[in-house]
């Protein structure tokens, strides 16, 4: 790591994360087994697929005596999937927890994600090496990757590599897909008595890996605060210049938690929630009308500016758009070569239109050419449209402009409409973790070492009661299978950890719904400013509005 660091980096390296009371004496904890936890859904199918790791009890930890264990424990750790603030602190907590069990314990970081475990690319993480990464953002300590661990061949390679280093536990830090793979790995090793424990840690800025025992995934707090600062800056600029509507797309393909949290934190004029659009069966035109209505009402008050927040995956939740995408995937799966040979965009569009159903053809025809081409560009490895590449913010801007032009002809709109578009994604994934995420991530890692000390496998590190001070957080573990259900993917049923979508009857969404008519018309902007690392707890240690509302605080 570069020895020339900024003053804030130097200060953050010195920060000492807080731990739950149960972990303060070390990772050799007292373990209480609670009720057995069946699968989230499809219990019989999950139990049949995971006979050795299903229906295991919930674990809750209490402080132990601090005694060392007799033998050192060697552990592998991997970062899997996209970056999220706090990943380095999970590793730091894991390292410190292992050393609390036995100072001779070793931690091996496998490089580049899951493939590092199978390709045997690793580094031993020492205290000196780790010192440069504590409380820092990013995953650059060992890197990450998206290789899936799901085949016996991969499991065997990983086992051989672990045994060569005397590794008896693997910690996988990742999201729902990564922890699904952790569950498969745990089951495989348990079935053959391989002697390798597998533990998961909940990571994703999207916020869609959560339940009663995983109150939030790490990184969500930091990322939404970073995005909210940027949105607040734009709101301040809009309120100063008074001439632009800003359309801001935010990360979150499968769920709208980021958009919801940022909407609550900044009180943007319009915050679209994909899950609501789907529940109400709204058409693309109806979504456009919601935005245009806010523009028109604000213009009538002389305010020709505003801010609209858009979840990344919105178009997949619009029913008529979802049908269109499915038809496009099918058309291009069978006619990719013919389509690729066409050079002119107009001809490409004609080729597609001729093969669509009448309803989908009408939707496709209404789109700007740029969006038509984005919808038909190269597919992902599974043959599906790459939604993240579709500039939904530009699509909505164009369609709102067209609708307002029609309304102006009819005398329904008398203002001006000028727009700017933005996409906030990478800006939030590698930020220095907030105090909350620094503490939470460190606790998750330390807690993972406690799980290992119990000899349990197939569990996810769980730290809850997160709206209380850190010493009151509850440390424990939830079986990975308890979060699973069966989903039909690529022609077959597969066990996967269920994604947590925005609950429309939940307190966070209800708070948005109760205020959005006012925010749509009035300038009610809130300017959150940057993350605060120092100062009183109510400034430096606050967590998300979402979590506070969900906990009824």
| DSSP class per residue in 175-227 | -HHHHHHHHHHHHHHHHTT---EEEEEEB-TT--S--SS----BTHHHHHHHH
Q: Give the chain's length.
A: 553
| DSSP class per residue in 316-371 | HHSHHHHHHHHHHHHHHHHHHHHHHH---HHHHHHHHHTTS-HHHHHHHHTS-HHH
- Residue 505 is among the residues annotated as catalytic for this protein: no
Classify residue 522 as exposed, middle or buried by CB count within 10 Å of its CB (0-12, 13-18, 19+). middle
Classify residue 407 as exposed, middle or buried by CB count within 10 Å of its CB (0-12, 13-18, 19+). middle
Classify residue 470 as exposed, middle or buried by CB count within 10 Å of its CB (0-12, 13-18, 19+). buried
> What CA–CA distance (Å, rounded) separates 174 from 445?
12
Catalytic position from the list 176, 206, 221, 439: 206
| Partners of 108 in beta bridges | 76, 124
Work out whether strand 30-36 and strand 57-62 pair parallel, antiparallel, or are unpaired.
antiparallel
| Partners of 479 in beta bridges | 459
> What CA–CA distance (Å, rounded) separates 196 from 50?
16
Determine how many CB atoms are found less than 10 A away from the CB of residue 42: 18
Work out whether strand 270-271 and strand 484-489 pair parallel, antiparallel, or are unpaired.
unpaired
CA 361, chain centre distance (Å): 33
> What CA–CA distance (Å, rounded) separates 146 from 112?
9
> What CA–CA distance (Å, rounded) separates 430 from 315?
26
Work out whether strand 419-424 and strand 306-311 pair parallel, antiparallel, or are unpaired.
unpaired
Reduce the secondary structure of 391-443 to three states and give it as a string: CHHHHHHHHHHHHHHHHHHCCCCCCCCCEEEEEECHHHCCCCCCHHHHHHHHH
- Residues assigned a catalytic role: 206
């Amino acid at each position: 790591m570069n020895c020339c660091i900024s003053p804030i980096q130097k200060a953050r390296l010195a920060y000492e994360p807080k731990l739950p009371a149960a972990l303060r004496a070390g990772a050799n904890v007292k373990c209480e087994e609670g009720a057995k936890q069946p699968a989230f859904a499809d219990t019989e199918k999950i139990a049949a697929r995971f006979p050795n790791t299903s229906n295991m009890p919930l674990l809750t930890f209490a402080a132990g005596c601090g005694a060392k264990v007799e033998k050192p424990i060697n552990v592998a750790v991997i970062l899997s999937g996209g970056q999220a603030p706090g990943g380095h602190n999970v590793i730091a907590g894991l390292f410190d927890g292992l050393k609390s069990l036995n100072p001779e314990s070793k931690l091996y970081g496998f490089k580049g994600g899951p493939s590092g475990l199978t390709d045997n690319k690793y580094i031993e993480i020492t205290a000196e090496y780790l010192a440069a990464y504590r409380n820092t953002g990013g995953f650059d300590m060992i890197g990450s990757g998206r290789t899936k661990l799901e085949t016996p061949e991969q499991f065997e390679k990983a086992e051989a590599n672990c045994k060569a280093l005397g590794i008896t536990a693997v910690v996988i830090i990742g999201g729902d897909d990564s922890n699904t793979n952790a569950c498969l790995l745990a089951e495989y090793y348990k079935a053959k008595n391989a002697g390798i424990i597998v533990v998961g840690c909940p990571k994703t800025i999207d916020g869609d890996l959560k339940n009663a025992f995983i109150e939030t995934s790490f990184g969500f707090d930091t990322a939404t605060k970073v995005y909210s600062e940027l949105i607040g800056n734009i709101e301040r600029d809009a309120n100063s210049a008074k001439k632009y509507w800003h359309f801001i797309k935010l990360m979150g393909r499968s769920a709208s938690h980021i958009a919801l949290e940022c909407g609550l934190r900044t009180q943007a004029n319009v915050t679209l929630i994909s899950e609501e659009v789907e529940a109400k069966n709204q058409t693309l035109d109806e979504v456009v009308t919601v935005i245009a209505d806010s523009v028109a009402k604000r213009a009538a008050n002389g305010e020709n500016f505003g801010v609209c927040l858009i979840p990344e995956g919105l178009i997949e939740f619009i029913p008529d758009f979802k049908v269109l995408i499915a038809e496009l995937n099918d058309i291009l799966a069978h006619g990719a070569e013919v389509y690729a040979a066409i050079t002119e965009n107009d001809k490409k569009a004609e080729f597609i239109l001729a093969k669509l159903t009448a309803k989908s053809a009408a939707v496709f025809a209404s789109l700007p050419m740029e969006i038509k081409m984005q919808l038909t560009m190269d597919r992902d490895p599974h043959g599906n449209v790459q939604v993240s590449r579709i500039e939904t913010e530009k699509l909505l801007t164009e369609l709102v402009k067209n609708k307002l032009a029609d309304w102006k002809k009819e005398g329904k709109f008398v203002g001006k409409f000028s727009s700017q578009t933005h996409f906030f994604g990478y800006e939030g994934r590698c930020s220095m973790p907030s105090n909350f995420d620094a503490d939470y991530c460190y606790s998750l890692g330390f807690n993972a070492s406690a799980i290992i000390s119990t000899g349990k496998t197939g569990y996810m590190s769980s730290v809850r009661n997160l709206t209380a001070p850190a010493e009151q957080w509850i440390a424990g573990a939830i079986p990975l299978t308890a979060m699973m259900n069966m989903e039909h993917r690529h022609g077959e049923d597969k066990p996967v950890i269920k994604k947590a979508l925005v609950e429309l009857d939940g307190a966070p969404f209800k708070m948005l719904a109760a205020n959005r008519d006012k925010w749509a018309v009035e300038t009610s902007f809130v300017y959150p400013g940057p993350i605060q690392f120092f100062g009183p707890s109510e400034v430096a240690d606050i967590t998300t509005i979402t979590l506070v509302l969900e906990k009824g605080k």
